[in-house]
Amino acid sequence: MKIKHIAAYCLGLFLLGSVASHADTMVTPPDGFGKRPLTMIVPFGSGGGSDQLARAMAKAMGEVAGLDFQVVNKPGGGGTSAIPDFMLAPADGYTVLEHIDNAISAYAAGDISENPAVDWIPLCMTQITFSQIYIRGDEDRFTDWASFEAHAKANPGAVSMANLGKIGSMELVVMDQLQSALGIEVNQIAFDKPAERYGALIGGHVDVLFEQPGDVRSFLDSGEMKPILTIFGDRPSAFADVPTHKEVGADFEALTRFRGFYVKNGVPDDIVAFLSEACAAGFNTDDYQEFNRSKYMHLIDSFRDTEGSIALINDAVKTYQDMYKILGIGN
Amino acid sequence: MEHFITGTWMLFGDLEALFIFVLGLLGGMFFGAIPGVNMLTLGAVILPFTISMEPTHAVMLYSVIYCSGVFGGAITAILFNIPGAPENAPTCFDGYPMTVKGMAGKAIGAAVCCSAIGGVCSALLMMSATGPIANWAIRAFGSQEIFALIFFGLAVSASIGSANLWKGWLSVFAGLLLATIGTDPVGGIPRFSEWSILNWEYKSYYLSAGLHFIPMILGFFAVSEVLVQATAISSGTRQRMKASMEFPSIVEFWKVRYTMVRSIFIGFFAGILPGIGATLAAFLGYSQAQKWSSRKANFGKGEMEGVVASETANNAATGAAMIPLLALGLPGGALTAMILGIFQIHGMEPGPLIFMNSNDLVWITFAAMFWANLLIVMLGWIQTKTVVHVLRIPFRYLAPIILLLATVGAYALRNLMIDVWIMFFAGILGYFMRSTGYSPAGIILGLILGNLGESAFSKSMQLMNYDFLGFFSRPISGILLALGGLAIISSIWTEIRTSRSPQSAIKRSDN
């Protein structure tokens, strides 16, 4: 009941934020909370996508709720190295964890024992994005999805794709779904660093790339890469001429990439309510909105409150677990 | 040229830019020169402040830190046998023996001038043809070529810094083995981070990230050096170092001109390949200098040419590493990845369009790197006259400071305590390795190149459908692998011949 109440309040704030300026969305903390700086743990390195998001949100929440954050990077292990320290911190709301959907697939595969929807309380999700498949801008063997599919069918297993390699990752699960739905066979090459994936496509060492648009925006703007397939329910307006996976005949619900903020389970309700309100209000500040636009995170609805986040996580956990059963991954 | 002048004007004509430039230059050098912390620590600490800076200034600041930080790491390598960064490790081999001989000023002088020459040359090459060079590198070098280059680098550098070839290879193999800890680069399968013995199950989220080379370097070099010196002090065998301030003469530099030119090319070439960077450059520069030098036998005993080779190569790699970053948006190492982050924090993306959209930014960065490298000479000259006095501080006071800073440096890397434990463990291991003729530098080389090499190898095999011979169907990778193989065979042959020679027989009977 409490959560519903918070969610309704957040939604109200969200709607209000779209018409009001951020001066009107000041959020007041429960008595005594926020007098000292909060710690925001980022499980990835300085300067990366998660780090930038954490800093942008820390700034926005400072603006709307007067909070002061100290951002601490604890990178490693695909985001798992930061978890023990987060779990050791007291459940007083002073430690916030930024994390991405990797945590959900890691939980579904049994790599981590903490369920992000149960052992942690999501305050909000503020970046949600979809994946696409890209080819080189000057590729002449295929120029769109139809010609690519024909090429892949004519040369089974010979078409190579630069992708993230971790077994059970969102990328590989989606590609498995796509390949079995369309009857194509693509040789997935595991690249651990994003720069290497992009370099491999541009340098002509692989044929296609699996990625999210915000990460390759500069290559899209310069014409070095172009999308041939969007893996999402409907066509985002920025890519109105690119077909979606459903339109080309692959009928599955697409997994998304999402980033959000968590506190540990056990944090007092009033502090959770306050922090999620602050997050919602921070999301609506002009600076944060500008930040999300620069990351192509405005193309689809990129916000979920606590309840919305729990639903998103639970859906994703179910999809991952179903796919892992089929693929024989994890416990 | 006119771009360069405009860039220089923007740098020196704007007080704020100039202030940031000087701050970066001194900061990089300072953090590079303190054992324990390094330019990455500085980069991470000041990252939040760059948000409020102009993007041009922020990117310029980091590129200046990059230049001066790589040089700063040489000072501790020379004075204390503790490299500030992995790319300074080969500088220890001859830099530290020079300090022991009372030639610290000369060694630092050589490092200063060569860092500057390497850096300036690569900045010039960078300014002349960033776009074409980046495009060539990205097309010509796929995973197969990167793997072959790493194999070649290991093959020619394996034995440096150790008592003999076998101990050198064993050290490198130990490093390669340590590199496998964590998760495998293809499927992300845990390796050594979880196991069960009988009914006891062990699982570490920390270890799943693998061992980072920074705590390992701090352990193998800083902690083990403190232990080595402590043993020497307690047994009364420690020699007090003489703090000389003599700068190398022009004649001495002229004698090593070929080594410099060779190292510039090696450094530049290794730098433009994303992910390879300055470490391999320094090791390759050193091993090639040793191979072609007329004073081969003096290497490792305080030969200035060794310092020249590694310092020229690692600074040449810095300018080159900016090429894939600026032209393609592909960072090659940790600091260039931070620079990419700065671009993104300001809503910009480096890449081909940057030359059109942000010409000012590119040229102020180029100009700043050029001038930073030149100014290293001046600052380095002052440092030669001042920093060597640190040697006058009794080691019993210096040791706890070194250990404290090393602990801070190891922790600051990821804010995880495990890195501090790893550092101390590596320190104790390093102590025993050094006393038995094994090479801590070899372990570090194995650890860094093991990670890069395995990743490149696994990608290559996937791309070639697991046909190993595919490496030889590509000219560059085929030639590099063959050369690496030849280098291994010839080094084994030489080792066997020398150990059977009458001289070594005498040596053995002496023992």
> Domain check: are A187 and A209 in the same one?
yes
User: What's residue B342's pLDDT?
Assistant: 85
Q: For A107-125, what is each residue's pLDDT tens digit?
A: 998 888 899 999 999 999 9
- Chain A residue with minimal CA distance to B211? A76
Asked, for residue A245, whether it belongs to a domain, the answer is no
**Interchain CB distance below 8 Å, A46 and B43:** yes
Q: Lowest-pLDDT range, A132-141, B367-376, B492-501?
A: B492-501
> Domain check: are A270 and A231 in the same one?
no
For residue A198, the enclosing domain spans 131-239
Query: What is the ipTM score, two decimals?
Result: 0.80
CATH number at residue A229: 3.40.190.10
- pLDDT surpasses 80 at B276: no
Q: For B298-311, what is each residue's pLDDT tens digit?
A: 888 889 999 999 99
**φ and ψ of A210, to 5 deg:** -105, 120
Asked, for residue B452, whether it belongs to a domain, the answer is yes
User: What's residue B503's pLDDT?
Assistant: 58
- How many angstroms separate the CA atoms of B478 and B194, rounded? 38
Residue B25 near residue B64, CB atoms below 8 Å: yes
On chain A, the residues whose CB falls within 8 A of the CB of B210 are 76-77
**Interchain CB distance below 8 Å, B338 and A112:** no
Q: Lowest-pLDDT range, A12-26, A134-148, A262-276, B123-137?
A: A12-26
User: What's residue A53's pLDDT?
Assistant: 92
* Rg over CA atoms, chain A: 20
pLDDT band for position A8 (50/70/90)?
low
A137 to chain B nearest CA, in Å?
13
- How many angstroms separate the CA atoms of A316 and A322, rounded? 10
User: What's residue A271's pLDDT?
Assistant: 95
Total length of chain B:
511
Kind of pairing, strands A131-136 and B194-197? unpaired
User: What's residue A185's pLDDT?
Assistant: 93
| Average of per-residue pLDDT across B380-398 | 80
On chain A, the residues whose CB falls within 8 A of the CB of B209 are 75-77, 80-81
Q: For B430-479, what is each residue's pLDDT tens digit?
A: 999 989 989 888 898 888 888 888 988 999 999 998 999 999 999 999 99
Asked, for residue B511, whether it belongs to a domain, the answer is no
| Average of per-residue pLDDT across B317-337 | 81
Tell me the CA end-to-end span of chain B in Å, nearest whole number.
Answer: 63
- How many angstroms separate the CA atoms of B329 and B73, rounded? 27
pLDDT band for position B296 (50/70/90)?
confident
User: What's residue A149's pLDDT?
Assistant: 95
> Domain check: are A206 and A275 in the same one?
no
Q: Lowest-pLDDT range, B79-88, B166-175, B381-390?
A: B381-390
- Chain B residue with minimal CA distance to A206? B463
Asked, for residue B61, whether it belongs to a domain, the answer is yes
pLDDT band for position B153 (50/70/90)?
confident
User: What's residue B157's pLDDT?
Assistant: 84
Q: Write out the H or E segment, with its range, that includes residue B16.
A: helix B15-33
* Most confidently modeled range among A127-136, B384-393, B402-411: A127-136
Number of separate domains in chain A = 2
For residues B70 and B168, the model is more confident at: B168
pLDDT band for position B86 (50/70/90)?
confident
One-letter amino acid identity for B402? I
Q: Is A39 on the interface with B (CB under 8 A)?
A: no
Asked, for residue A24, whether it belongs to a domain, the answer is yes
- CB crowding B414-439: b at 16 or more within 10 Å, else e: bbbebbbebbbebbebbbebbeeebb
Asked, for residue A216, whether it belongs to a domain, the answer is yes
- pLDDT surpasses 70 at A24: no
- pLDDT surpasses 80 at B196: no
Asked, for residue B200, whether it belongs to a domain, the answer is no
On chain B, the residues whose CB falls within 8 A of the CB of A51 are 341
**φ and ψ of B274, to 5 deg:** -55, 130
pLDDT band for position A278 (50/70/90)?
very high
Number of separate domains in chain B = 1
Asked, for residue A247, whether it belongs to a domain, the answer is no
- CB crowding B16-32: b at 16 or more within 10 Å, else e: ebeebbeebbbbbbebb
Q: For B24-47, what is each residue's pLDDT tens digit?
A: 998 988 888 777 777 888 888 888
**Interchain CB distance below 8 Å, B347 and A290:** yes
> Domain check: are A97 and A181 in the same one?
no
Average pLDDT of chain B?
Answer: 85
User: What's residue A16's pLDDT?
Assistant: 46
- pLDDT surpasses 60 at A281: yes
| DSSP helix/strand/coil, A80 | coil
- pLDDT surpasses 50 at A320: yes
> Domain check: are A36 and A137 in the same one?
no
Residue for token pair 């006119």: B2
A8 to chain B nearest CA, in Å?
32
> Domain check: are A41 and A116 in the same one?
yes
Q: Is A203 on the interface with B (CB under 8 A)?
A: yes
pLDDT band for position A21 (50/70/90)?
very low
pLDDT band for position A3 (50/70/90)?
low
- pLDDT surpasses 70 at B183: yes
User: What's residue B243's pLDDT?
Assistant: 67
**Interchain CB distance below 8 Å, A191 and B324:** no
**Interchain CB distance below 8 Å, B338 and A47:** yes
Asked, for residue A311, whether it belongs to a domain, the answer is yes
Give the number of beta-carbon pairs within 8 Å between A and B. Answer: 156
**Which positions 113-152 of A are in contact with B (Cβ < 8 Å)?**
none
A134 to chain B nearest CA, in Å?
16
**Which positions 239-268 of A are in contact with B (Cβ < 8 Å)?**
none
A304: left (phi over 0), alpha (psi -120 to 50) or beta: beta
For residue B377, the enclosing domain spans 2-188+210-503
Residue A97 near residue A294, CB atoms below 8 Å: no
Q: For B345-354, what is each residue's pLDDT tens digit?
A: 777 777 767 7
- pLDDT surpasses 90 at A32: no
Out of A72, A190, A218, the one facing B415 most closely (by C-beta) is A72
Kind of pairing, strands B200-203 and B194-197? antiparallel
Best of B204, B325, B415, B455 to disrupt the A interface (most A CBs within 10 Å) is B415
Three-state SS sequence of B285-344: HHHHHHHHCCCHHHCCCCCHHHHHHHHHHHHHHHHHHHHHHHHHCCCCCHHHHHHHHHHH
**Interchain CB distance below 8 Å, A218 and B208:** no
Out of A72, A166, A199, the one facing B188 most closely (by C-beta) is A166
> Domain check: are A58 and A169 in the same one?
no
| DSSP helix/strand/coil, A120 | strand
Q: For A58-100, what is each residue's pLDDT tens digit?
A: 999 999 999 999 888 888 777 888 888 899 889 999 999 999 9
Asked, for residue B202, whether it belongs to a domain, the answer is no
Total length of chain A:
331
| Average of per-residue pLDDT across B8-15 | 84
- pLDDT surpasses 80 at A189: yes
pLDDT band for position A19 (50/70/90)?
very low
Average pLDDT of chain A?
Answer: 87
- pLDDT surpasses 50 at A14: no
- How many angstroms separate the CA atoms of B119 and B133, rounded? 17
Asked, for residue B124, whether it belongs to a domain, the answer is yes
Complete edge-to-edge strand list for the sheet that includes strand A120-129: A69-73, A38-42, A95-100, A257-264, A120-129
> Domain check: are A98 and A159 in the same one?
no
- How many angstroms separate the CA atoms of A228 and A213, rounded? 12
**Interchain CB distance below 8 Å, B349 and A217:** yes
Closest by CA to A271, choosing from A36, A33, A2, A79, is: A33
- Chain A residue with minimal CA distance to B188? A166
Residue B352 near residue B131, CB atoms below 8 Å: yes
> Domain check: are A119 and A141 in the same one?
no
pLDDT band for position A44 (50/70/90)?
confident
Residues whose CB is less than 8 angstroms from the CB of residue B114 and which lie 6 or more positions away in sequence, other chains included: B260, B263, B307, B308, B311, B312, B315
- pLDDT surpasses 70 at B324: yes
| Average of per-residue pLDDT across B124-129 | 84
Q: Is A324 on the interface with B (CB under 8 A)?
A: no
Residue for token pair 């193309």: A299
> Domain check: are A233 and A274 in the same one?
no
Asked, for residue B508, whether it belongs to a domain, the answer is no
CATH number at residue A263: 3.40.190.150
> Domain check: are A178 and A97 in the same one?
no
> Domain check: are A197 and A313 in the same one?
no
pLDDT band for position B502 (50/70/90)?
low
User: What's residue A307's pLDDT?
Assistant: 95
Asked, for residue B57, whether it belongs to a domain, the answer is yes
* Rg over CA atoms, chain B: 22
Q: How far is CA B52 from CA A59, B7, B47, B346, in A?
A: 12, 22, 10, 9
**Which positions 268-297 of A are in contact with B (Cβ < 8 Å)?**
290-291, 294
- Chain B residue with minimal CA distance to A83? B205
Asked, for residue A300, whether it belongs to a domain, the answer is yes
On chain A, the residues whose CB falls within 8 A of the CB of B186 are 165, 190
